[in-house]
Amino acid sequence: MRFEQPTAPHARPLTSVPVVMRRVLYALVPAALCHTWYFGPGLLVNFALTVAACLLTEGLVLRLRGRPTRHALRDGSALVTAALLSFALPPFVPFWIPLIGGAIAITLAKQLYGGLGKNLFNPAMVGYVFLIVSFPVEMTQWLPPRMGDLDYRPLTVGEHVSYVFAGRLPADLDVDAVTRATPLDLVKEGLRTGRSFAEIRGGSLFGDFGGRGWEWVANFIALGGLYLLYTGTIRWHIPTSFLVGLLAPATVLYLVDPNGFATPAFHLFSGGTMLGAFFIATEPVSAAGTDRGRLIYGAGIGLLVYALRTWGTYPDGVAFSVLLMNSAVPLINRYTRPRIYGQRRG
């Protein structure tokens, strides 16, 4: 008998890119359901639109680059970018916002750098930053959670879809009547105008730690993050150092001046903290590549998020922080190479 002679190792690979991407998507399902429960169908509509934009532009650019599309479109990476972007977007935006965001994320941040594995910056965050800089009005159309005691009439699915695609709202409503400031906005504005944090937190949109509804979405995102840790899809270094980098200054400054600064718990359960720590900063391509490097990278993002939230112009800072630290990755990698077995330190 004669046999083929490939080289070792002969064992089958233990995992694959689509498996990894699929796990990330599964991990976001509970948070997506929770988000839909509190904020209506916006997230799902955004997801459908970003997926369409991401897959279409990915296929188109690959075709233009003369690259095969079959595996690239099925590897799930475009879906992950779409999912992360949808979570970052306000749930109440016209249809062209997610379309442009998805297209920018894939073309500008991913394919122009060479496609999967070549991007220097997190594609979803590039898409998000492009949108928030270009369309500040639409990008701040956040909805309040659907809770009975709030003075607010939630839109029906039909009304929501009619706004997204046709820009029409029921006659008795306008955009301002439907949307609300986010808890991060309220805190930033309140502190700026000299109100104490405790006073701001008394508002009806605030829950136990962060915003009502928001904090539960954050919980479910963290749950998904734990699933990713458990399955070995991500490792502990970036989420841990991200959260430490955010909570350390938050704790110190809150202890120094409890009226002038938000509680560490508020930072933990608000805005993009959990999504950033577990899903965005952990995006491997644009993150640091060594264990020590990842600790530095995550801590840097956490610190920047705190600084941007506290002293920046925008209410949240996850996207900017991630992109800033992305640009520091080559430097971090260079100085955090592990000592090779049997080679001397230094």
Alpha carbon distance 283, 90 (integer Å): 22
| 68 part of the interface to other proteins, by CB under 8 A | no
**Positive or negative torsion for Cα 13, 19, 24, 29:** negative
Q: Which of 1, 137, 171, 256 lies at the binding interface for other proteins (CB under 8 A)?
A: 1
- Cβ closest to other proteins, residue 148 vs residue 342: 342
CA–CA distance, 342 with 258 (Å, rounded to integer) = 51
Instruction: Compare residues 202 and 232 and give the one whose CB is closer to other proteins.
Output: 232
> Min. distance of Cβ 12 from other proteins in angstroms?
5
Per CB under 8 A, the segment of 12-20, 87-95, 202-210, 318-326 that binds other proteins is 12-20
Closest approach, Cβ 286 to other proteins, in A, equals 8
Options 148-156, 180-188, 242-250, 336-344: segment touching other proteins (CB under 8 A): 336-344
**Separation of alpha carbons 194 and 296, rounded Å:** 34
Burial (CB count within 10 angstroms: exposed 0-12, middle 13-18, buried 19+), residue 330: exposed
C-alpha triplet 149, 155, 158: angle, nearest 5° = 155
For residues 127 and 322, give the distance between their C-alpha atoms in angstroms, rounded to a whole number.
13
Site for other proteins in 245-304 (CB under 8 A): 284-285, 287, 289-291, 294
Nearer to other proteins, 9 or 148 (CB): 9
Q: How far is the CB of 91 from other proteins (least distance, A)?
A: 29
Give least dist CB 305 to other proteins, A.
23
Inter-residue long-range contacts of 42-46, CB under 8 Å, 24+ positions, other chains counted: 42/90, 42/91, 42/92, 42/93, 42/143, 42/160, 43/86, 43/87, 43/91, 45/98, 45/160, 45/161, 45/164, 46/85, 46/86, 46/89, 46/91, 46/93, 46/98
Question: What is the footprint of other proteins within residues 103-142 (CB under 8 A)?
Answer: 115-118
Check if the beta carbon of residue 178 is closer than 8 Å to that of residue 172: no
* 237 in Cβ contact with 229 (< 8 Å): no
Under rule CB under 8 A, residue 66 binds other proteins: no
Of positions 137, 171, 256, 340, contacts other proteins by CB under 8 A: 340
Nearest approach in angstroms of CB 319 to other proteins is 20
Using CB under 8 A as the binding criterion, the count of chain residues that bind other proteins stands at 43
Binding site for other proteins (CB under 8 A): 1-17, 19-20, 71, 75, 77, 115-118, 235, 284-285, 287, 289-291, 294, 333, 337-344
